[in-house]
Amino acid sequence: RGKKAFIAGVADDQGFGWAIAKCLAEAGAEISLGVWVPALNIFETSFRRGKFDESRRLSNGSLMEFAHIYPMDAVFDTMDDVPADVKDNKRYAGNEGWTVSECAAKVAKDWGKIDILVHSLANGPEVQKPLLETSRRGYLAAMSASSYSFVSLLQRFGPLMNEGGAVISLTYVAADRVIPGYGGGMSSAKAALESDTKVLAYEAGRKYSVRVNTISAGPLGSRAAKAIGFIDDMIRYSYENAPIQKELAATEVGAVATFLCSPLASAVTGQTVYVDNGLSIMGLAG
């Protein structure tokens, strides 16, 4: 039977989440998505109007389908966490059951057990500010959306996972080395995510017999990355200085994600796997 994958953090066909969905679909998996609530309407409209059809095309000619598309906001665990201004916001008011716990309950009801859980989301409202100028609120928001969201997802979806399942997230080298421009506490959030990958690999490995890894990806001109501002410079820098001098394709990350979620990687857990054309090994610009 095909494996079932729930992917949180897809809102267009440009980012890593979409590419992972596509590679998993190529490998025979069924896919459901968790889409950020404020982005859901435009995603569904674009989807219906065929805007993604070209990117949905699989190698056998068919179009990638999604079993379910759920609204989700990964900074809220239960409805009790949601402040009134969000509840009343018109982009949220039309949707229901989008906190992490409610979303997991819907997946359990509609779909039963899953095999693969993908966290491909991040948000840092002050990402353009140096850490030295970041507010407490901005820092904690980055941690909440980009790090705790992963703990929360695994907490709520772990019980739905079949033994032998796999969980992955996306991280960035700024966790480990200084990347000027990646501010607002986003570097801190990625450091937490990488450390949590180890602790959660241990805990969820023992509790659910699932593996937990994170992919440290090279620069990609996704919507989120464009919001940071320096992505074109990063892509150029990587092209000039990485061992492999080519632009990173999102599908190269999708392929490694598919490997990590497959039985080929049955002994790999708790790891940060770099998929960055090798840029991270360089000590000096080449």
For ligand NAI, the binding residues (CB under 6 A) are 9-11, 14-17, 36, 39, 72-75, 120-123, 145, 170-172, 217, 219-220, 222-225
Q: Which residue is nearest to ligand NAI (CB)?
A: 15
Whose Cβ is closer to ligand NAI: residue 32's or residue 120's? 120
Q: Least distance in Å: CB of 120 to ligand NAI?
A: 4
Name the residues annotated as catalytic.
172, 182
Whose Cβ is closer to ligand NAI: residue 233's or residue 266's? 233
d(CA 71, CA 84): 18
Q: Supply 200's token pair.
A: 């959660």
Whose Cβ is closer to ligand NAI: residue 75's or residue 161's? 75
Q: Least distance in Å: CB of 161 to ligand NAI?
A: 19
Q: Least distance in Å: CB of 47 to ligand NAI?
A: 13
Whose Cβ is closer to ligand NAI: residue 114's or residue 224's? 224
